[in-house]
Amino acid sequence: MDANSEVNERNECHMIRSAKEHRLTHVELKSGFTTVEEIYGSSGFDVWVDKCKQCGQLFIYCFKEKCRPCGDDDYWSFWVPVEESEIETVRNASPLLRFMGEFVGRRGNICWSATEEIYWQQGFHLAGLVFMPF
């Protein structure tokens, strides 16, 4: 690990570090953020700006309910770390659902999956399929 990597890791939000180490709990997720702004809200799709209470890191939070024909719907939550300058892009995105599918699919994020697992995902991952219309 080079010096820049070590500095970045020390400055990284503790929520991200915990997710990468598979130590982040449901309690920490529920209590560790303050919602700064609600960008969009509905019964099956929400997009907010959340802020880590400890370090102030901003995240785009996205909740997505994936309806399944058998009636057992899946519930997914994602926290994508962002810079303040990126929030306006999310606010203005249209259609927002499609944008969020691409955004979550290409950015590292904390994922609370339908199976109740909490982990960090980076690069292409299957969770992006949650946003597909099928």
- C-alpha span between 76 and 52 (Å, rounded): 19
Annotate 61-107 with three-state secondary structure. Answer: EEEEEECCCCCCCEEEEEEEEECHHHHHHHHHCCCHHHHHHHHHHHC
pLDDT digits (tens, 9 = 90+) for 83-114: 999 999 999 999 999 899 889 988 999 999 88
The DSSP symbol for 126 reads: G
In a 3-state reduction of DSSP, which class is residue 35? strand
CA 80 to each of CA 2, 8, 72, 119: distance values in angstroms, whole numbers, following the listed order: 25, 17, 26, 12
pLDDT at 16: 97
- Confidence band for 27, pLDDT divided at 50, 70 and 90: very high
- Confidence band for 5, pLDDT divided at 50, 70 and 90: very low
- Give pTM, 2 decimals: 0.87
